[in-house]
Amino acid sequence: MKPLEVFKVESPDEAGAEAYDSVIRDVLSDLELTTVLGRLWVEIDPVEPVFIFCTLIRTGLPPIRVRDVADVTLGTASSKQVILELTNEEYVPQLLGRLRMEYGHENIEQPDKKTMTITTEEMKEASESIADTVIADPRKEIEVRLADALLRITPEGFRVRHHVSTGSEMLFVASEDPIQPEWIKRAEEMMAELKEGIEMEVSGHA
């Protein structure tokens, strides 16, 4: 799935749909979500009134582990230290937080910008578990940003909401009146239609 390979904003009011198209593009680019979403289909009917938002999230963003941002080596046997040579400084705050929680504040040192040492009795085991420690999960962050984007895009008065969210898709229905079952049904149909192409793609590859 390419970024935003499907981008549909539909409404009986064409000028309104165009305006919402622009609002959605602006919000997605403000929150850096354009490359995260694969397909997006929004339907707005101001007369009903209902706002339906269906999207497929591009998967394939693995959690960041320590070994992705640093080379883990063992110090001398007498020093009882595990040494991390940082290769990517983007996740240093998360890394430090995680290590301090695990090994205690006093056992973590940073002699220079790109080096960290962890003092521990069981160096070998520690070096293996450190390398596998997850320090950041971009997918969780994306979920937070996507929820924020939805609140920004939805018409403000539409405060009655229904949403179904899994790791790879998000279905959202909002209105100012109680949510009607047919709106949810419509949203599910839209979601099924959005997914259709993907299954074909997969079977095509197979």
Partner 1 sequence: MLEPIMYEGGVFKHNLVIELIEDLGGYVLQTNYMQTEVMIQMLCPHEDVSMLEDLAKELRAKITRAPLTGTDIIVIAPTLAYHHLPHHSCDVAEYMRRQGANTTLIGLARGVGRRIAQISSKERALADEHDLALFTLGNFENCLMKEKYVLYKDIEVPCVITGTPELSTTPAYAKAYVGHLGRIAHRLRNEGEIGALDKLAEVVGTILDEQRLEISKDPLTTHPARLMKEIKEHIPEINKSLSPAPITLQLMGARVKLPYSQYKEAIENIEFEEGPKLGEIARVLPSGVRDYMLIRILPKSVTGFVI
Interacting residues toward partner 1 by CB under 8 A: 11, 13, 15-16, 18-20, 22-23, 26-27, 30, 44, 46-47, 49, 152, 155-159, 176-177
The residue (of 128 and 177) whose beta carbon lies closer to partner 1 is 177
What token pair was written down for 14?
């064409």
Cβ 32 to partner 1, closest distance in Å?
A: 14
Cβ 49 to partner 1, closest distance in Å?
A: 6
The residue (of 159 and 185) whose beta carbon lies closer to partner 1 is 159
Residue-wise over 190-199: b if at least 16 C-beta within 10 A, else e?
Answer: bbeebeebee
**What sign does the dihedral 198-203-205-206 (CA atoms) show?**
positive
The residue (of 26 and 196) whose beta carbon lies closer to partner 1 is 26
Cβ 46 to partner 1, closest distance in Å?
A: 4
Cβ 13 to partner 1, closest distance in Å?
A: 5
Strand segments (E) across the chain: 6-10, 37-45, 50-57, 64-65, 70-74, 81-86, 108-112, 115-119, 134-136, 160-165, 169-175
